[in-house]
Amino acid sequence: MKIAAHQAEGWLARRPSESAVLVFGPDASAVADAARRVIGHWSAPDTEIVRLTDEDLRSDPARLSDALGARALFGGETVVRVVIGGESPVVRSVLEDLDKGASLNRMVVEAGELGKASKTRLAFEGAARAVAVQLVEESEEALAAMAVAAAGSEGLTLDPQAVERLLSELPADRGVIRAEIAKLALYMHANGPCVTEDDVAAVVGAQRSDALDGITEAVTRGDIGWLADRAGAVCAAEGAITVLRAVMRRFNRLAEVRRLMGEGRGLGDAVGALKPPVFFKVRAAFERDVRRWDETALVAAAERLWRAEQACKQAQMPQDLLVQRALLETARLPLRVGTAPR
């Protein structure tokens, strides 16, 4: 069976009856979050989770069939969680036994992008007791809906400003957002269920990484020296993808201001129209960046950062190095395209 991207959220809300689930898509954090939800539906207190990777399957292909046929140590069920990059003949080979009900345990597989002709995807779509769930790139609207639902499961209600502040402070990572909402639930225990922007600022904003802000601002102001000295350490501490997405969010906001200015608004009005608003302490620096980056440079920056994210997903070389190189090249763009103020 196959679940299209627009059906995925509704399907993930229920307990799967299938024995094997493939979740695939371009965003590794969204795929991992969906796999955790599937495992949560299947799990009991004595359920054992066995995790296998591409490397495990290459070194010993029999490990997967062994795990699917093994009884849990304490007598409960076992769920086998397999993380693969793309095609996996080993995963396909066990589907027949799962389809016949010959395996004791269930399996959830996480994968990256799989085209319509993917053998692994087609195997799950065609099996009677398996399902392939497709995810697409996360939109801000989807993340906002997820945040509201996650808060609701904790007995909380997020007002619209709280949602905007939460998404502006955090990377586009469902696992991170859920973790911060869990912290909010503890904070709100004595304050009632209605979460405001100030509550988010107290819990999430207070923990915002100065290093992450620093590297983002270094890129937009073109501070090559800062990036050469510190970008490696920040990527190592914060995570290369987290850094990359923080920089991309900054450029998306700069591009939105330029779009509004193209419609005839002044710089101050365009910046003031942003949602969530630019914090007053950094507004002057943000307006400086708008002046530095015109439409041509912003398009070039978006393309360079997008290529870096794609390269990270393909894991051609260490992500830290890929992101460092992309940030240095991006920071130089206004000079290369001749748009930097003189």
| Domains along the sequence of the chain with CATH | 2-134 (3.40.50.300), 140-207 (1.10.8.60), 210-336 (1.20.272.10)
Q: What is the mean pLDDT of residues 293-321?
A: 85
CA distances from 169 to 33, 173, 194, 210 (A): 19, 11, 19, 12
- Check: CB of residue 124 under 8 Å from CB of residue 130: yes
For the beta carbon of residue 296, count every other beta carbon within 10 angstroms. Answer: 13
- Note the pLDDT of residue 173: 73
- Note the pLDDT of residue 53: 87
Amino acid (one-letter) located at 239: G
Q: Which residues contact 145 (CB under 8 A, 6 or more apart)?
A: 9
Q: Phi and psi at residue 103, in whole multiples of 5°?
A: -95, 145
Distance CA 334, CA 309 (A): 21
Distance CA 140, CA 146 (A): 10
- Note the pLDDT of residue 201: 80
Is the predicted pLDDT of residue 51 greater than 80, yes or no? yes
What is the band of 198 on the pLDDT scale with cuts at 50, 70, 90?
confident
Q: What is the pTM of this model?
A: 0.54
Instruction: Give the model confidence (pLDDT) of 79-92 as tens digits.
Output: 999 998 888 899 99
User: Which range, of 34-38, 94-98, 264-268, averages the lowest pLDDT?
Assistant: 94-98
CA distances from 44 to 39, 41, 77 (A): 10, 9, 8
- Note the pLDDT of residue 142: 80
CA 105 to chain CA centroid, Å, is 29
Q: Which two tokens stand for residue 169?
A: 């402070």
